[in-house]
Amino acid sequence: MGAIHEAKVPDIGNHTGVPVIEVLVKVGDVVKADQGLVTLESDKATMEVPAPLAGIVTELKVKLGDELSEGSVVALIEASDASLLPSGEGARRADEGQVSSRTPNTPVPGPSSSQASPSVMGSGQSSVPLPTVAANPSVAAASAFPPSTPPVVFDVSAVAPGSVPHASPAVRVFARELGVDLAKVAGSARGGRISKQDVQAFVKGALAAGPVAAVAAGGGLSLLPWPQVDFAKFGAIESQPLSRIKKLSGANLARNWAMIPHVTQHDQADITAMEAFRKRLGETQKDVKVTPLVFLIKAAVAALRKFPTFNASLDGDNLVLKKYFHIGIAVDTPNGLVVPVIRDADRKGILELSHELAAISAKARDGKLTPADMSGGCFSISSLGGIGGTAFTPIINAPEVAILGVSKSQLQPVWDGGAFAPRLMLPLSLSYDHRVIDGAAAARFTAFLAQLLGDLRLLLL
């Protein structure tokens, strides 16, 4: 009987309580070094926890839904005879599992491999902190053998959210066997996950389209490389690393901007009466600040109810229509933009929403939002109204299909049919996914929003 080793969650940055979404092995399974044992998924990325060495799974320490952090023990593995050999194939495999070096015959996994994923959720370092097995003589012996190729260099940009395809290990193996880059395959399963059928469809499409089209079949953009400029040649500079949030949100924004055909519909709402009401409310409600944003949340919910295709997500050729109303709010924090979600906004009143908005914005600015706080949104609102501006083009928060941008309200002379009257006008900028929403629907949606904000009594209907 070989020694028993613990398989632990490797360095996943500052993330804690990341849920197990798949258990990939069972007790008694024979596993290879580096084989995925369980899959963890935050709202930003998916990663597998790999077996530290080849052997037999003698005990599983986790189940679906358990929330894990760095160092959590996932399983116990009895080392196989091969992995205990001081030299030879077994020892070399264990070595490969630990230092991420690979012989030429070993397939080098793509960005979705178990090596690559952990840093997606982690610190974005340039090399992956791989799991180590303390006091493991077989691994110590194995690591005495120099790897036959240099360690795989980890490219954070290749695995940033948006670059990391959502797929089960079986689908990844299948794709690897066919030589398919999963980053080019559109996932049609729930949450954008790539199924085996998606990979098959991708291959069929590529073959049918011929060699040139096959390259582009994944929708890859054929872009010029990023300009490399020595800025210091032109004057003094200072280089600052991007925050982790900026790197993560930047990758998401770039994907959403490139993959969604955005159109932005601009409109204005006359909020003169709404503001008078809000001010009166502010005089009596001293324990919470009521800003225009909560009225926008209520009006957005009513508009989503009336226009269900805005409360939807694309799932391959299907549109998933949601019967719940969870509204994401873009919050500007010192470390970058985050989008916490207010759940069941349809069931909450103006004051409850105000308390919740204050609480989540404070949590966001303190950097204490959890993945759960930022998941499940149906539609987002990005309000720059407290700062300024007359209009902007917000980027859709995929897999949502629309986002409402709000700029600063201004007093304007508005013709009432007989004279110009001073009215407080609120600029609305609705960006929508043109694959799902037509321009006419977007114009109706914003006009309806403006109508509701112009007369809040309509929200009671």
- The one-letter amino acid at 96: E
Active-site residue numbers? 434
Q: Which is nearer to ligand CAO, 158 or 337 (CB)?
A: 337
- Cβ distance 181 to 110 under 8 Å? yes
Instruction: Rank residues 337 and 372 by Cβ distance to ligand CAO and give the closer one.
Output: 337
Chain CA centroid to CA 7, Å:
27
Chain residues binding ligand CAO by CB under 6 A are 291-293, 329-332, 337, 357, 361, 382-386, 394, 406, 408-409, 426
Measured CA to CA, the distance from residue 3 to residue 296 in angstroms comes to 61
Least distance to ligand CAO from the beta carbon of 278, Å?
8
Judged by DSSP in three states, 7 sits in strand
- Nearest to ligand CAO by Cβ — which residue? 385
Shortest distance, CB of residue 339 to ligand CAO, whole angstroms?
9
Spatial distance between the Cα atoms of 167 and 144, rounded to a whole number of angstroms: 35
Q: Which is nearer to ligand CAO, 295 or 445 (CB)?
A: 295
Choice between 46 and 409, CB closer to ligand CAO: 409
In the bound state with ligand CAO, the residue whose beta carbon lies nearer, of 37 and 404, is: 404
- Is residue 122 classed as helix, strand or coil in its secondary structure? coil
How near is the Cβ of 75 to ligand CAO at its closest, in Å?
A: 42
Paired tokens of 18? 């990341």
- Name the residue nearer to ligand CAO (CB basis): 309 or 393: 393
46 phi/psi in degrees, rounded to 5? -120, 140
Nearest distance in Å: CB 354, ligand CAO = 8
CB of 301 to ligand CAO, least distance (A): 16
Please state the closest distance from residue 415 (CB atom) to ligand CAO, in A. 22
Which amino acid belongs to residue 423? R
Q: Least distance in Å: CB of 235 to ligand CAO?
A: 28
What's CA 360's distance to the chain center, in Å? 19
Cα within 13 Å of Cα(211), Cβ side: 0
Indicate the residue among 128 and 330 with the shorter CB distance to ligand CAO: 330
Q: C-alpha angle 325/328/329, rounded to 5°?
A: 135
